[in-house]
Amino acid sequence: RTLYLGLGCCNLVSDCGAAALGQNLAKTLRNLDLNLMGCHGIGDPGVTALAKSLPPNLQALSLSLFACAEVGDTGAAAIGEHLPPSLQVLSLDLRGSGVGHAGIASVAARLPRQLRQLTLMFTSDDDQSNITIASLKELSAWQAAHPEVMRLQRRALQPAKASAAQASLRAPPAAAAKTQPTRGASSSIAAKPGSGPQVRSSASSPLCGPAGLALRPSRAASTPPGTRRHPRP
């Protein structure tokens, strides 16, 4: 009932491949973790076909479309439209894709009633930060019982390039919500503990460019074999 499939950075995966993958998913699946990070051959048609084939009784879905630049608002809307009503946990990584406010809003407008945990990652340029904030407001509207935003903060990850925002559920304070910009990027949607779904969303700059993934080397110091470290006197 659980399937994990990692196809990250496999440029051989096309729209036809994504459609075939969806058609062959077992209908009895309850948990699906699908990593399509950096699959540049996948666009809106492939994501749409995959979304239409999601198992009807799926309870947990993790889908990474990180650095899939050909995936846009149409693909995101298809994901939202075809989310199974039984879904309780959803994680979507849309960083580095072509998904904008319209796509995020489409997902937020069609979240299943049974959903209890949402992790949504997406990217926006610094001059489009208002679009990101608007998308988070769409997510807060989904929380009909507690729609108010407690805090909304953002910061630029790169000068004039990227902005970041996160949303998570916490117990509502007695006082009215206030917006306080800080260096940390976070926002919260008010809710009583255990009364509604958990929401986390973030926006950041992609690490995967046209040439592929840019891996950062570790800065941890290494000690040559046979070398003994002596404490300072």
Q: Scanning the structure block, which residue is given the tokens 């003994």? A: 228
User: For residue 6, is it within any domain?
Assistant: yes
CA distance 17 to 2: 21
- Let me know: does 30 contact 2? Beta carbons within 8 Å: yes
Question: Does residue 174 form part of some domain?
Answer: no
Read off the tokens for 112. 């299943």
* Domain assignment of residue 116, yes or no: yes
Q: What is the pLDDT of residues 51-63, one digit of tens each?
A: 999 999 999 999 9
Residue 155 lies in a domain: no
The answer, yes or no, to whether residue 188 has pLDDT greater than 70, is: no
153 is a domain residue? no
What digits encode the pLDDT tens for the residues 74-98?
999 999 999 999 999 999 999 899 9
The total number of structural domains in the chain stands at 1
Distance CA 170, CA 191 (A): 6
| Residue 111 belongs to some domain of the structure | yes
Query: Is residue 104 in some structural domain?
Result: yes
Domain range enclosing 121: 2-58+70-87+99-147
Residue 12 lies in a domain: yes
